[in-house]
Amino acid sequence: MNGPRVRRSFARYSWPAWLLLALAAGCRREGLPPAAPAAKVVATSPVRKPIVEWDEYVGRIDPIESVEVRARVSGHLESTHFEEGQIVQKGDLLCILDQRPFRLAVEQAEADLARAVARSEEAEAQRVQADAEVESAESQRELSVLMLGRARRLVAKNALAQEELDIRETSFKQTSADRDVKKARVALAKAAVTTAAADMRAAQSQLATARLNLSYTEVRAPVTGRVSRRVVTDGNLISGGTDQATLLTTIVSLDPIHCYFDADEQSFLKYMRLVEAGKLTDLRHSKLPVFVGLADESKRFPHQGHLDFLDNRMDRKTATMRGRAILPNPDLSLTPGLFAKVRIPGSGRHDAVLIPDSAIATDQSEKFVYVVDEGNTIHRQKVDIGRRVQGLRIVREGLAGPEKILLRGLQRVKPGSLVDATFEETLVVDDGLPDDAQPLPEGRWLPSYAKSRAESGERPPSPPATALGSTEQRTSEGMMP
């Protein structure tokens, strides 16, 4: 009874489902949907050109000469003759100490010298007189010798009494003794002349010292540069001539100027290997170009100089090598103490493939680009990249240069996709750095501290002798944070 009723209910309620299935099957037989259109992307070609990879370090501007101006004699500060912060030339008058005591000392030394000169002249006159007396005594002795010989011949002929012979012998002895006395006076006169000459030289030295001390009362700029503030005002008592002498002001030289920087150990080893391979000239013995930019010169390095110094050992505390560049500073814009970005050659000149950073994709630790082949299909190419140069990224491996790579639209494609690529040229950004790093010719070298002093005729100070008789040379280092 229930069986036919159930079958009639199932047939009545299931026919719409069969109708929908039939319609769907008919639609599938009418045809497949069209293929997806090619993705619109932007492609570009890598740039291949010769470059130099410039390493960048943080540096500190430091003056070549920095002088603490102190008086070399003691006295009251009478007047100051400089404006704080102005540029002074070597030899410019800075301060004057009270000169009256030193002028009196000069006058006293002049009087002592005059007295010594007079004594020297007197001693010389006495020497001349003693020489004349010796000549007179020699004449008297010669006469007594003649008279004694004559007397002896007459006595032998009994023509002269023995008493007269004795008188003449005694006279001969007296003239001989008188001659010896006169010779002794000559020796004394010569000794007096020598003593007087020594006293005169001592008086001359005292006069020179007094005049030198008088000149020291005028404190002059020892170097050309910018002077700092007044540390002591007029009227104060100045202590000078010792290691505790009163500081008056300071002066720093500005043109040329140094820039110190520290290179890490890995970079230093890289330079050594490049030099050994002949790809880079020796940093110690060649004047490689250096480019410096200040903190607000973010995109360019307008200050050009050259390497001037490389330390003789690594710093054990920081594992860095101290280097120094020397830069011209005609407009005095490089101020001591400023931080700077220093660029030095990190490679020799070589051809490199450059691409924009936007063309590089990352898959975990792997870098790759999408290459558009001749059929406008995409395939993935792994690349090994380097640093940024002239606004582009160096590709060390993976690209040769003539390929076409995706620049924009990387998210809309996958390997094997068909693309509609619009080509866009890759532009190189001028960063102000040259594509070559040849050492500067000697005519463009900037004078170092020692060379500039030698050219000016100044004798460099001798280093102090040690207990073993050797010398110690002090190295001037720039201040680094």
Would you tell me how many other CB atoms lie within 10 Å of the CB of residue 97? Answer: 24
Task: Render pLDDT for 49-102 as a digit per residue (tens, 0 to 9).
Answer: 998 888 899 999 999 999 999 999 999 999 999 999 999 999 999 999 999 999
Tell whether 196 is covered by a domain: yes
At residue 125, φ and ψ (nearest 5 deg) are -65, -40
Enter the tokens of residue 143: 């006469």
Q: What is the mean pLDDT of residues 457-464?
A: 43
Tell whether 455 is covered by a domain: no
Residues 6+ apart with CB under 8 A from 374: none
| Average predicted confidence (pLDDT) for the chain | 81
Tell whether 447 is covered by a domain: no
Residues 6+ apart with CB under 8 A from 340: 58, 59, 60, 61, 259, 292, 293, 294, 295, 303, 334
194 and 110 part of one domain: yes
183 and 115 part of one domain: yes
Choose one of 216, 240, 263: the last residue of a domain: 216
Q: Is the pLDDT of residue 130 over 70?
A: yes
Residue 58 belongs to a domain with what CATH number?
Answer: 2.40.30.170
337 and 395 part of one domain: no
Angle at 300 between CA 347 and CA 266, to 5 degrees: 30
Paired residues of 471 in beta bridges:
465
Tell whether 449 is covered by a domain: no
Q: Return d(Cα 101, Cα 400) in angstroms, integer.
A: 84
Q: Total structural domains in the chain?
A: 4
Q: Is the pLDDT of residue 348 over 90?
A: no
Which residue in this structure is represented by tokens 């130099």? 52
Task: Render pLDDT for 204-231 as a digit per residue (tens, 0 to 9).
Answer: 999 999 999 999 999 999 999 999 999 9
Give, in order, the Cα–Cα distances in Å from 341 to each of 258, 294, 298, 344. 13, 6, 9, 10
94 and 222 part of one domain: yes
Q: Return d(Cα 452, Cα 457) in angstroms, integer.
A: 9
Tell whether 456 is covered by a domain: no
Tell whether 130 is covered by a domain: yes
Residue 230 belongs to a domain with what CATH number?
Answer: 2.40.50.100
- The domain of 140 spans 101-216
Q: What is the mean pLDDT of residues 413-431?
A: 84
Angle at 124 between CA 118 and CA 127, to 5 degrees: 145
Q: What is the mean pLDDT of residues 373-389?
A: 88
237 and 290 part of one domain: no
Q: In the structure, what pLDDT confidence band is assigned to residue 459 with cuts at 50, 70 and 90?
A: very low
Task: Render pLDDT for 14-35 as a digit per residue (tens, 0 to 9).
Answer: 545 544 544 444 444 445 556 5
Identify the H or E element spanning 184.
Answer: helix 162-216
Residue 384 belongs to a domain with what CATH number?
Answer: 2.40.420.20
Q: Return d(Cα 350, Cα 427) in angstroms, integer.
A: 19
Q: In the structure, what pLDDT confidence band is assigned to residue 467 with cuts at 50, 70 and 90?
A: very low
Choose one of 390, 408, 423: the last residue of a domain: 423
182 and 132 part of one domain: yes
Burial class from Cβ neighbours inside 10 Å (0-12, 13-18, 19+) for residue 232 reads middle
Tell whether 30 is covered by a domain: no
In the chain, how long is the greatest CA-to-CA distance? 216
Would you tell me how many other CB atoms lie within 10 Å of the CB of residue 181? Answer: 13
134 and 272 part of one domain: no
265 and 410 part of one domain: no
DSSP string, 77-138: EEEE---TT-EE-TT-EEEEE--HHHHHHHHHHHHHHHHHHHHHHHHHHHHHHHHHHHHHHH
- pTM assigned to the model: 0.70
pLDDT confidence of residue 453: 53
Q: What is the mean pLDDT of residues 436-450?
A: 79
Q: What is the mean pLDDT of residues 400-427?
A: 85
Tell whether 445 is covered by a domain: no
156 and 199 part of one domain: yes
Choose one of 230, 252, 274: the last residue of a domain: 252
292 and 237 part of one domain: no
Identify the H or E element spanning 422.
Answer: strand 419-423
CA 98 remoteness from chain centre: 38
Q: At what angle do helices 162-216 and 100-156 cross, to 10 degrees?
A: 170
Task: Render pLDDT for 171-209 as a digit per residue (tens, 0 to 9).
Answer: 878 888 887 887 888 888 888 888 889 999 999 999 999
pLDDT confidence of residue 35: 58
pLDDT confidence of residue 464: 36
pLDDT confidence of residue 69: 92
Q: Are strands 93-97 and 218-220 parallel, antiparallel or unpaired?
A: antiparallel
155 and 192 part of one domain: yes
147 and 212 part of one domain: yes
